[in-house]
Amino acid sequence: MDFELTEEQKMFQAMLRDFVDREIAPHAAEWDESNEFPTEALAKMTELGLFGLHLPEAYGGSGDDITFMLACEELARGSGGLSSIYITTISLAIGPIVMFGNEEQKRKYIPRVTTEGATVAFALTEAMAGSDVAALEMKYTREGDYYILNGTKIFITNGAEADFLVTFATKDKALGYKGISAFIIDKGTPGFSVGKLEKKMGLHPASAAELVFDNCKVPAKNLLGEEGQGFKIALRAIDSCRVTIAAQCVGLAQAAYDAAVAYAKERKQFGVEIARHQGIQFMIADMAVDLDAARLLTYRAAWQQQTTGNVNAKEPAMAKLFASEAAHRIAHRAIQIHGGYGYTKEFVVERIYRDQRIMELFEGTSEMQRWTIARQITGLK
């Protein structure tokens, strides 16, 4: 098996690595401290064509899943928060429109991302509906040429800044997953507003917003897919996003690993660099193994997804599960190697530790990934 990148992909990776080192990483701590939405950096990323990666060429994209995975990894190496804004927009949030939108919807919304760098949100989670998607309580009714939405979403990444979003509501909760439909909501739609912004442990540049739909009047043409298809659309979007989250984890882990190795070679205790102490060497070795294994699982899943188009296989779930937990272990050891300094905001590992923790929770918890993997292996539903 050959996982060697093409020359074009290697050139892209080198270009983006340089861009991240110049334009992203130097500002990451500032964005984290101020909760600032990195508007200027996102505009530069749009100019580089990063918002077209893996999206259809017919609408201004480049159509390359593996290059997109490399972008997710490199951007996360520079800033976990910025990478979440990016990944949510061009994977999880625009994905439903790419996969299920009609031609009019695709031509209206996809180019806004690929050429304008529009920010997009995916509004699914509710107070009583997290992993249990079928438990949605936000309701919709049909009134002539409009749908009327009522309810509240929580923890929505990009919710405060989104130019448009995809959300989900049920016609009748008694219908379970069969009653759920998906809708495209434009910023400024009557009855739609942004509520509370969560104060999070990490990923500070990316908002996590409460979204309120109070008799929100949505044109019927903004129904995504068909009525009753929302559950399928939501799960398909989440499935397709797993590899990008795994790549994000690899990027965060790489940043923590690099910082730990550099510090261990500089810091002296008992008259020598701490990298010479066996205890530190063992930690670095374990970090290197975790990082390599996470990257290989992620690259395999991305290659499989691009060549087969199957986003519901066990391999993406395995990559997301292992990479997120490996990032946790690597960030933990990075702080351990830094000692007390690692617990301060002066060193990057403190921020990485906070940013990586959510990776084991969003887009499917580690427990949900294990459930998905086991179902694929046993064939039991």
CB 235 within 8 A of CB 168: no
- Cα-based torsion angle of the residue sequence 148, 152, 155, 156 in order, rounded to the nearest 10 degrees: 10
In the beta sheet, which residues pair with residue 129? 126
Q: Find all residues with CB under 8 Å of 275, minimum gap 6, and list them.
A: 261, 264, 265, 281, 284
Active-site hit among 57, 74, 363, 367: 363
Alpha carbon distance 360, 299 (integer Å): 19
Angle at 66 between CA 61 and CA 67, to 5 degrees: 55
- The two counts, helices (H) then strands (E), for the chain are 12, 10
Angle at 97 between CA 187 and CA 149, to 5 degrees: 50
User: How far from each other are the two terminal CA atoms of the chain, in whole angstroms?
Assistant: 31
- Sequence length of the chain is 381
DSSP-derived pairing of the beta strands 120-123 and 164-170: parallel
CB 167 within 8 A of CB 183: yes
Alpha carbon distance 251, 114 (integer Å): 23
Decide if 116 is catalytic.
no
Q: Which active-site residues does the annotation give?
A: 363
